[in-house]
Copies of this chain bind each other. A is one copy, B any other.
């Protein structure tokens, strides 16, 4: 099954660096760097507000563990956001392409 993995990074350059590596390693068929976001979150007992960059990867659910591991390796944060959303339908040709251009074994 294909999935969309939602992630954030400190800035567009980091999002593109991490995203490009995922595509180069065929852990993702495609990465979309969505752009600048304002993040509000709990951290160290306080509410923080930061500017970040959101990006998504389109891949297969079988590759999510290996993709997550690669993001943890590449990412500057201690606990980066890596959240998988299941794809349940859409263009069969596109979903087939995701399968075609990504690694078969993690």
Question: Which residues of A pack against B, CB within 8 Å?
Answer: 2-6, 8, 12, 16, 19-20, 23-24, 26, 29-42, 47, 52, 54, 58, 61, 64-65, 68, 71-72, 79-91, 93-95, 97, 101
CB-contact partner of A87 in B80, B85, B93, under 8 A:
B85
Q: Is the CB of A39 within 8 A of B30?
A: yes
Are A89 and B64 in contact, CB atoms less than 8 angstroms apart? yes
Whole-angstrom distance between the alpha carbons of A79 and B19 in the complex?
A: 21
User: Bound complex: CA of A72 vs CA of B68, how far in Å?
Assistant: 32
Cβ B58 vs Cβ A81 within 8 A = yes
Instruction: Knowing A32-B37, A39-B31 are in contact, say whether A86-B83 is a contact too (CB < 8 A).
Output: no
Tell whether A4 pairs with B83 under 8 Å between CB atoms, given A35-B35, A42-B30: yes
Q: A79-B93, A85-B86, A85-B88 are in contact. Are A41 and B47 (CB under 8 A)?
A: no
